[in-house]
Every structure is written in C-alpha cells, then in structure tokens.
A = this chain, B = another copy of it.
Amino acid sequence: MAKNFPGALSLLDDAALLDIDPDHQMVITNDILTAGVHFFENDPADLVARKSIRVNLSDLAAMGAEPLVYLLALSLPNTVDDAWLELFSNGLKQDQINYGISLIGGDTSSTPGPTSISITMLGRIRVNKALKKSNAKLGDDIWVSGNIGDAGVALKIIKGEVNVIDDKSKNYLFKRLHLPEPRLELGNNLIGIANSATDISDGLANDLNNICQASGFGAVVQGDSIPISELVSTLIKQTKHLKMSHIISGGEDYELVFTAPPEYTKNINTLSNKMGL
C-alpha cells in the first residue's frame, strides 16, 4: 500500500522519511505497547510511560535522527484510576525533559480490553543522511552497542526461568528491561560512518537478519564476539537451560546493530570509548 511513496522505505525500516525543507527530512515512527503483551498490568505506570517513549526514540536513534515531538494515543480500561494516570503522566514529563521533546497531540479512548499506548514520534535529520537497513555493503564489519541479552534475562527472571538472588543484579537487569537507553547520540555520530543500522527490539539475530534481508547480504557472527554483561556471562555458566541462543534472540535490548567498512574501526572504537558503550 505504501509502495508509491518513497519516504515510506517500503514500511521495512525503523521510521519513515518525509521531505520538509531543502535541508531536512522529517523522521516518523510509531510503536504500540499493549498490557499483557509488551508490559505487565502491574508494572509501575511511570516506567511504562517512559518505555513507551524510549522504544520510539530508539527507532529514531537507529536512523541517526534528532527527536522533536510526539503524539500519544491512549486506550484505557475502566480499571485504570487517577493514581495510575498521574504516575503515567509523571513518567511522560520526566522523559520529555530528559530528551527535550514535547507532546503535541493524540487521542484517548475507553476500551473493554487492556491498557494500550500507541506513540507516534517525529524527529528530524539532514537530507540523505538517514541510516537505513538496506544499505549494508559487502565486507562491512558488524557492530553492536552496549550489552546484549540483559533485558531478555530480566524477562526470564520474571517468568521464574532464571534465578537471581541479589538485589543489585536484579536492579541492573530490570532497569535494562524497563528503562532502555535510546542510543540517540551514537546514532547521530554514526552518520557518515555506518552503512546500515537498526535497533534491536526483536533480538540481535532477528534484527541483524532484517539488515541482511534488506541489503541482500549474509552475515557471519562469532558467538564469543557478542558483547554480554559479566552478570549474564555468569548466569549462563550457572543456569543449565540459559544459552547464548536465548541471548541473541531475547529481544527488548534497544541497542543499535550497525555495519561499517573496516576502515572506520578506529573511529568507532573512539566513539565507543567516548560514550562508554
């Protein structure tokens, strides 16, 4: 349905592009979070709000764009009370300040179903600079930001499939699940360096595969070259049924996976050191 509109990028990229002035394109993305599917009904409302914003910011980061404004479509069951709404609203405000963005519109609806949050995020990028999935080149190195698998392991703890006893470890993993850090600065700095990029929402394996499919190449990844936290490394050793295959397919990482020519290795390492990623 979108094939006639070039900026839609065939609906396959992290966000759509719209020409706005001779120098800039608008970058537009949308994500739905549904209670019982993407978060738990009893998750703290402020964290739900902030994650709703951040998963959209992560899509802009994957294009290298700067976020501007957003719209909020909120479907609420009658079980939601004023306390929940106030906490949710506080969460939105907090991340509006953190990321310098404004709410400019939206809609609310009652629903006999679960709480559902659909955010449309608009950003801006200089023309022809957006990082795309489809632009990987033969011989590119594959890079990822941060550690992979923390959020997926946190989900396994909630489901009772992995045991973590100490609070510090739990807090680290749960923060990685509930409050992902959209890699906006990294995405912006990868313009002119990376040939392709996407954010890891469905697991490293899936999202890297999306780049390969969009670009028409295959990829080779060594298991031991995938960055994981010391904690997850320890848990894999301790937990018989937790394997590397779960880490690369766990989802919810919201890190960036990108490809770049080998000659940019030094630039990327410098960026990495500067940002502590």
Contacts and interface: CB of A to CB of B under 8 A. Distances in A.
Interface in A85-122: 89, 92-93, 96, 102-114, 116, 118, 120, 122
Instruction: Assign chain A's interface to a size class.
Output: 35 or more
Interface stretch (A34-42, A226-234, A257-265): A34-42
A74 B1 CA distance: 15
A192 to B, nearest CB: 25
Contact of A7 (B104, B109, B112, B114): B104
A120 B31 CA distance: 12
A107 B30 contact: yes
A48 interface: no
Nearest to A4: B102
Contact of A105 (B4, B29, B96): B29
A120 B71 contact: yes
A18 B114 CA distance: 32
Contacts of A107: 30-32, 118
A1 B103 contact: yes
A89 B29 CA distance: 20
Nearest to A71: B30
A8 B74 CA distance: 17
Contacts of A8: 69, 102-105
A68 to B, nearest CB: 8
Interface string A259-273: 000000000000000
A80 interface: no
